[in-house]
Amino acid sequence: MGDAPAIEAVGLSKRYGSFSAISDVGLEVGKGEFMGLLGPNGSGKSTTLKAITGLIVPDSGRVWINGIDIQDHRRAMERVGCVIETPEPYPNFTPAETLDYVGRLYGMDSYEIAIRARDVLESVRMWDWRDKRIGSFSKGMRQRIVIAQALMPNPETLILDEPTSGLDARGMIEVRLLLSELRQRGRSLLVSTHILKEVSEICGSVTMIRKGRVVRSGKVSELVKGLSDTSVVLEVETMRPLTRELVYDIDALEGVSGTKMLSPTRVRMIFDGTTEQQCRLTDMVYGSGLGVRHINEQGPDLEALYMDVTMAEDIL
């Protein structure tokens, strides 16, 4: 078990009636590795995490955590901290009371709870609020308490489902800084998100899921290398709203392999065509009469890869 991956999932599938939530999903998170489970909303990320943590029983497939079959649930999850679908802490509890409750669930004695609670609350920067009622906290503060609960058993492995969902910019930054600190301590992490910035900042590997199926998995650097040398992300912003017809015409151009609307006046696309084809695209945009504010170009990166495998159908 010492050399076993932190998390290994093979062939996970789950149906609800005629709807297939996930199909043949597999991934592997090595010891000390931070992996992002990346995909659009509704792609099957939460279902995958629930199957991995034993919150649901998949129709098929197997999961091992630190080499222990998840069917031996208590032993497999003993050194794992989880936040699945952002549970809300009890509003009438204080952070200290919340962690005392969590510690007792893990079988800790009072002395161990006191030591761990202080360490955890200081790590999430909530020690000064330890005796305040959680119901008076901001969304970001409550989220930090939820993560503190996951850290209470001093886990070797963390599994987090959209940990920055609903947070403002400052709250997102605070959570990312906390996760970066945990990476330096040698923890393993599987984090689901649809935010590319989170993965690019804290994760060295990624599993991309679309419509319940894995479409890419591996080290970010290696996956990006697999893109064509000519692959770029182009972002176009116009003064007046883009028409449906123009976006469809852009998507139909040779060299354009994925289109994503960011706002009524902004469209992003992955382009891997020739210089001549890019000129045709530019001429079409400028000839639309919508007033072009800018056309930005970025080289091959995680965003280009993500668009290439998950967003090809996302037009208006």
pLDDT for residue 308: 61
Q: Cβ distance 310 to 208 under 8 Å?
A: yes
Give the model's pLDDT for residue 196: 74
Question: Tell me, what's the pLDDT at 231?
Answer: 66
Res 303: pLDDT: 66
CA–CA dist 28, 157 (Å, integer):
13
pLDDT score recorded for residue 62: 97
CA 153 to mean position of chain CA atoms: 23
Which pLDDT score, from 0 to 100, does residue 270 have?
77
Q: What is the mean pLDDT of each run of 10 residues along the chain (316 residues)?
A: 86 96 96 91 92 96 96 91 85 96 92 95 92 92 90 92 78 80 88 79 88 89 63 83 87 82 85 82 88 76 65 47
The pTM assigned to this predicted structure is 0.74
Q: Are 11 and 59 in contact (CB under 8 A)?
A: no
Write out the two tokens for 183. Answer: 């990476």
